[in-house]
Amino acid sequence: MDDSLYLWLRDQGILMLTGIFVTYISSFLYTMNAQGFLAHGKYRKKEDAILIFLGSTLILGAVTPILYWIAGLTITFIPPTTIFGILIIGTNYVLHYSIPTWKQTSTKSLLIYLLGTFLVILGFLIKIYL
pLDDT tens per residue, range 7-37? 898 999 999 999 999 999 998 888 887 788 9
Domain end residue (candidates: 42, 59, 77): 77
Buried residues in 25-34 as b, exposed as e (16+ CB within 10 A): ebbeebbeee
* Phi and psi angles of residue 82, each rounded to the nearest 5 degrees, phi first: -65, -45
Domain of 13 in residue numbering reads as: 1-77
Residues 30 and 62 in one domain: yes
pTM of the predicted protein model: 0.82
CA angle 39, 92, 30 (to 5 degrees): 10
Q: In 10 A of CB 111, how many CB atoms? A: 11
Instruction: State residue 104's pLDDT score.
Output: 87
Residues 26 and 62 in one domain: yes
Residues 43 and 54 in one domain: yes
Residues 58 and 1 in one domain: yes
Residues 13 and 72 in one domain: yes
Domain count, the chain: 2
Residues 110 and 86 in one domain: yes
Residue 31's DSSP bridge partners are 38
* Phi and psi angles of residue 32, each rounded to the nearest 5 degrees, phi first: -115, 135
Residue numbers of the chain with a pLDDT score lower than 70: 1
User: What is the Cβ-side half-sphere exposure of residue 97, based on CA atoms within 13 angstroms?
Assistant: 17
